[in-house]
Amino acid sequence: MSVIKIKRFNPEKRKDSYFQEFNVDLKPGTTLLDALNEIKWEQDGSLTYRMSCRSAICGSCGVKANGHATLACQKQAENLLDKNDVITVEPLGNMPVIKDLVTDFKQFWEKVDQVKPFLKNEQAPPEKERNQSPEQFKLIDDSSTCIMCGACYSDCNVLEVDDKFLGPAALAKAQRFVGDSRDEDTLERVKELSEPGGIWDCTHCGECVERCPKPAQPFYRIKEIMTVALEKGVHNNNGARHALSFTKSIKNSGLLNENTLPVESMGFTNIKGLLELVPVGLRMLLKGKVPPIIHKPCDELNDVKRIFKELDQ
Ligand code: SF4
Ligand code: SF4
Ligand code: FES
């Protein structure tokens, strides 16, 4: 017998959450969702969770297994057992819990709405349909696969500290329309997505890529939006300036110039922002952490320049 340890919460009966253990005989082929079903149907009918398709399509069975978000119907339970033969199951993170493993997706959906997830095209509709070539569709193919399961949202590190961040799912959805050849609002979209809480607040941790059960892979989609924003000249924000300063520094010297990076990222005319850097600079000075004033290029600068040339081509 293996143990499934489930985080339980029922505000009608008890204010705090607690773990409850269930013994389950996990056979080869049993998914985590099958195990939850066995517990509900055979042991405790009050256990509450969402499920529908059992085929990794509907996106409703997202839970945390051993601390990481996953689709319960997509994971073989045996593969999740720890060395003590236990699987720990909790509700998704970064969302309020309603009951047991059921979370409130309200903020998740509000953020999806915020990116205007619909085609904007003022042209008179063609007789049949707005065509796309296979190459054009390829640009939005991956983001189109999102099943809105919330696994990425649950484990996003930025959302843990900043609930204003749009989050990986909404941004993956945004790329679905930024990259759509039939949409006419690309510039406006990337401007809005470059505002605080948007693409540039992602810390590139890649956790959403690890958790996503589909090719939607939000972090890669966020990078695609960043590329479009830079190509469209949407540079008037800290994130874009940071990326451009970083690239310039590496291109010119092969090394990161940590003296110019904060100033260029903040913007030379952003007096308030620059003044905010002063205390940090002073602390670095006192701790002897200020980088050398003269920024020397690296020994392999020619190799770096060659790589940039190839990338430019
Ligand atoms: S890569 Fe960005 S969006 Fe994805 S989990 Fe990390 S911070 Fe969140
Ligand atoms: S991007 Fe992936 S993990 Fe995030 S909601 Fe969509 S399918 Fe789920
Ligand atoms: S039950 Fe539909 S995705 Fe798992």
Q: Read off the pLDDT of residues 212-227 as tens digits, 9 standing for 90 and up.
A: 999 999 999 999 999 9
Q: State whether 115 and 193 are in the same domain.
A: yes
Closest ligand 3 atom to 72 CA: 4
Q: State whether 145 and 214 are in the same domain.
A: yes
Q: Which CATH number fits the domain that encloses residue 167? A: 1.10.1060.10
Q: Which residue among 231, 256, 273 closes a domain?
A: 231
> What integer pLDDT is reported at residue 19 of this predicted model?
98
For residue 126, pLDDT over 90 is answered with no
> What integer pLDDT is reported at residue 34 of this predicted model?
97
Read off the pTM: 0.92
What are the tens digits of pLDDT across the range 201-210?
Answer: 999 999 999 9
Q: CA separation (Å) from 265 to 269, 272, 273?
A: 11, 13, 10
Q: State whether 164 and 204 are in the same domain.
A: yes
Q: Which CATH number fits the domain that encloses residue 29? A: 3.10.20.30
Report the separation in Å between the CA atom of 214 and the middle of ligand 2, taken as the mean of its atom positions.
7
227-237 mean pLDDT: 96
Pocket lining: 208 vs ligand 1, CB cutoff 6 Å: yes
* Ligand 2 pocket mutation, candidates 142, 149, 165, criterion most atoms within 8 A of CB: 149
Q: State whether 207 and 227 are in the same domain.
A: yes
Q: State whether 222 and 112 are in the same domain.
A: yes
What are the tens digits of pLDDT across the range 132-148?
Answer: 999 999 999 999 999 99
Pocket lining: 212 vs ligand 2, CB cutoff 6 Å: yes
Pocket lining: 149 vs ligand 2, CB cutoff 6 Å: yes
Q: Is 140 helix (H, G, I), strand (E, B) or coil?
A: helix
User: If you search the block for the tokens 């517990």, which residue do you land on?
Assistant: 39
- Provide the domain count of the chain: 3
Spatial CB neighbours of 6, under 8 Å, sequence gap ≥ 6: 19, 20, 21, 22, 36, 39, 47, 89, 90, 100, 101
Helical ranges in 95-167 per DSSP H? 106-114, 134-141, 151-155, 157-161
What are the tens digits of pLDDT across the range 136-180?
Answer: 999 999 999 999 999 999 999 999 999 999 999 999 999 999 999
**Beta carbons within 10 angstroms of residue 43's beta carbon:** 12
Q: Is 233 left (phi over 0), alpha (psi -120 to 50) or beta?
A: left
Report the separation in Å between the CA atom of 213 and the middle of ligand 3, taken as the mean of its atom positions.
11
Dihedral (C-alpha) 56, 59, 61, 66: value to the nearest 10 degrees?
80
33-42 mean pLDDT: 98
Q: State whether 119 and 204 are in the same domain.
A: yes
What are the tens digits of pLDDT across the range 268-299?
Answer: 888 998 999 999 989 998 998 888 888 889 99
Report the separation in Å between the CA atom of 146 and the middle of ligand 2, taken as the mean of its atom positions.
5
Report which of 235, 226, 240, 248 is spatially closest to residue 295, judged by C-alpha positions: 248
For residue 77, pLDDT over 90 is answered with yes
| Domain coverage including residue 41 | 2-103
- Pull the structure tokens for residue 163: 């609930």
